């Protein structure tokens, strides 16, 4: 697969990573792509590069269009290595090129690559004229690193927002209308990468709307390019950033000898009997990346753990640490679990779950050894009452 | 004078120290920082800071 023309004189020249399954801990069953874009006019700009070891793929694609030595500008929207990882190779060939980045981007690239390159540092509203095509830059600090920025090609109404609006998908096609289940991967990407920055996302989208940037295509750095209805992914980001949830509960737990699992399944029964959607995940058998995607539109998050050595089970603690960093919005939840002689897990889960931002409900769901019949009934009853609270807070 | 915390990256603005690299003199209260001042650690605006008790 070679270059792909997005717009007259704008090309995709990135690389497809079919086999990556663990992207810094994010599971990527569908692989991913590193999207670099070449904008060709009187001057030539390369917008971002690709992950290390994929430089050849990119340079081959560029060579189908121009000689890589004729690149005038290398735009670095984001320092992270999957985007900047081939900048050295490009700069070695393109002897006259300048690197364009934010002030923090320049500092980051210098730390990473020690390159003594000519830099142009840009702020929001700065422009570089390539000919008829003009590149315009928008700083987006903490979307999702301090150095991040968006590049906008005004003539083509094309937004290149780096890691925003991405999805981890490897495909032989490049556009959203050519690939299945794109929105699901976009939701997973948002939940696992961008969720902590929800307030910034809402502000930035508002700012872009006031800048009156007409957008009819969005080229993110991973996955497919949004061309069919680019406003759909913007609307989805607004919805996710506002924490809009469905009538849906998640039960996430681990178990040693099955007692915590009995509690989890009894609560599940109580919820399902009332007709509310629920999903159950045993942590050691589940994909954390997928669970976070499910949390995105769930209203209730219940977490359970057996007591191990006076505390919570390690898989539960690892999960809560991950979830805490991602700061989900507007959830209600509770802790449950089991113990042998001394308690410990439920208290620890409760404290950690509260720190993730979840509003904790009153719950008395901690049982010794194996829950008996009455205790199982209490779990079912808890699930039933939970659906009332979910319905109170979320209207269909 | 109260300290303020960046809600995004948890940097703490201490008015006694100011932000000399950002041109802010020691002794400048958070309220008197210019509107275009940004978090020295992550670059977000003043509106994303919260007051610490």
Examine the domain organization and report whether A210 and A315 are in the same domain: no
**What are the tens digits of pLDDT across the range A249-302?**
999 999 999 999 999 999 999 999 999 999 999 999 999 999 999 999 999 999
State whether residue B40 sits within 8 Å of chain A by CB.
Answer: no
> Nearest CB to B42: which of A139, A142, A199?
A142
Q: Mind telling me how many Å the CA of A203 is from chain B's nearest CA?
A: 11
- Total count of domains within chain A: 2
Residues A325, A224 contacting (CB under 8 angstroms): no
CB contact, 8 Å: A146 with chain B? yes
* Positions of A marked catalytic: 24, 78, 80, 82, 144, 163, 189, 222
Q: Which residue of A has its CA nearest to B41?
A: A146
A254 shares a domain with A206: no
Shared domain for A133 and A270, answered yes or no, is: no
Q: Which domain holds residue A173?
A: 4-242
Domain end residue (candidates: A185, A209, A242): A242
**Mutation target among B22, B37, B43, B46 for the A interface, most CBs of A within 10 A:** B43
Q: Cβ of A122 under 8 Å from any chain B Cβ?
A: no
Q: How far apart are the first and last CA of chain B?
A: 11
DSSP state, residue B33: S
Q: Are A255 and A200 members of one domain? A: no
Q: What pLDDT was estimated at residue A396?
A: 74
Q: Pick from A180, A211, A242: which residue ends a domain? A: A242
**Res. A1: pLDDT tops 60:** no
CA-only gyration radius of chain B, Å: 10
Which helix (H) or strand (E) segment holds residue B17: the answer is none
Residue A276: which CATH number? Answer: 3.40.50.360
Structure-token pair, residue A236? 């989805």
Check whether residue A268 and residue A383 sit in a common domain. yes
Q: Which two tokens stand for residue A244?
A: 């809009």
* Cβ–Cβ under 8 Å, residues A320 and A295: no
For the segment A341-360, what is each residue's pLDDT rounded down to a tens digit? 999 999 999 999 999 999 99
Is there a single domain that holds both residue A198 and residue A257?
Answer: no
CATH of the domain at A78: 3.60.15.10
> Are A231 and A308 members of one domain?
no
pLDDT given at position A121 = 98
Residues A197 and A59 in one domain: yes
State which H helix or E strand residue B40 sits in: none
Confidence (pLDDT) at A212: 83
pLDDT of the residue at B53? 84
Claim to verify: residue A38 and residue A185 sit in the same structural domain: yes
The per-residue b/e assignment along A227-258, b for 16 or more CB within 10 angstroms, e otherwise, is beebeebbebbeebbebebebbbbbbbbbeee
Predicted confidence band of residue A395 (pLDDT cuts 50, 70, 90): confident
Residues A219 and A300 in one domain: no
If asked whether residues A319 and A214 sit together in one domain, one would say no
Share of chain A above pLDDT 70, in %: 99
Q: Which of A205, A224, A242 is the last residue of a domain?
A: A242
A262 and A127 in a common domain: no
Over residues A50-74, the mean pLDDT reads 97
- Region A28-54 average pLDDT: 97
């Amino acid at each position: 697969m070679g270059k792909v023309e997005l717009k007259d004189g704008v090309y995709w020249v990135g690389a497809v990573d079919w086999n990556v399954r663990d992207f810094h801990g994010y599971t990527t069953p569908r692989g991913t792509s590193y999207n670099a874009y070449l904008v060709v006019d009187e001057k030539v700009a390369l917008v971002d590069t690709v992950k290390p070891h994929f430089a050849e793929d990119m340079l081959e694609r560029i060579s189908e269009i121009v000689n890589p030595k004729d690149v005038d500008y290398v735009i670095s929207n984001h320092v992270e290595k999957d985007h900047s990882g081939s900048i050295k190779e490009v700069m070695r060939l393109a002897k006259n090129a300048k690197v364009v980045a934010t002030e923090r981007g320049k500092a980051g690239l210098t730390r990473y690559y020690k390159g003594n390159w000519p830099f142009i540092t840009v702020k929001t509203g700065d422009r570089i004229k390539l000919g008829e095509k003009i590149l315009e830059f928008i700083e987006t600090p903490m979307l999702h690193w301090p150095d991040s920025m968006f590049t906008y090609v005004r003539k083509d109404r094309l937004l290149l927002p780096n890691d925003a609006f991405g999805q981890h998908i490897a495909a032989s096609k490049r556009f959203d209308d050519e690939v299945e289940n794109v929105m699901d991967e976009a939701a997973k990407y948002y939940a696992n990468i961008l969720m902590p920055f929800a307030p910034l996302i809402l502000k930035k989208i508002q700012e872009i709307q006031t800048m009156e940037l007409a957008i009819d295509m969005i080229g993110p750095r991973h996955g497919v390019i949004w061309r069919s209805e680019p406003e759909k992914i913007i609307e989805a980001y607004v919805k996710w950033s506002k924490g809009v949830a469905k009538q849906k509960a998640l039960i996430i737990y681990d178990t040693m000898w099955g007692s915590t699992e009995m509690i989890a399944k009894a609560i599940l029964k109580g919820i399902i009997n009332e007709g509310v959607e629920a999903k159950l995940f045993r942590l050691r058998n589940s994909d954390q990346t997928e669970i976070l995607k499910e949390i995105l539109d769930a209203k209730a998050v219940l977490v359970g753990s057996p007591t191990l050595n006076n505390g919570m089970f390690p898989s539960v603690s690892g999960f809560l640490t991950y979830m805490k960093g991602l700061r989900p919005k507007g959830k209600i939840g509770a802790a449950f679990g089991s113990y042998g002689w001394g308690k410990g897990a439920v208290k620890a889960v409760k404290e950690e779950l509260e720190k993730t931002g979840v509003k904790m409900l009153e719950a008395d769901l901690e049982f010794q050894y194996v829950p008996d019949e009455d205790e199982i009934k209490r779990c079912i009853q808890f699930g039933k009452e939970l659906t009332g609270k979910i319905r109170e807070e979320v209207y269909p | 004078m109260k300290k303020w915390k960046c809600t995004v990256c948890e940097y703490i603005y201490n008015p006694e120290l100011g932000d000399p690299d950002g041109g802010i003199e020691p002794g400048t209260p958070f309220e008197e920082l210019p509107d275009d001042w940004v978090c020295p650690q992550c670059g977000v605006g003043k509106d994303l800071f919260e007051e610490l008790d």
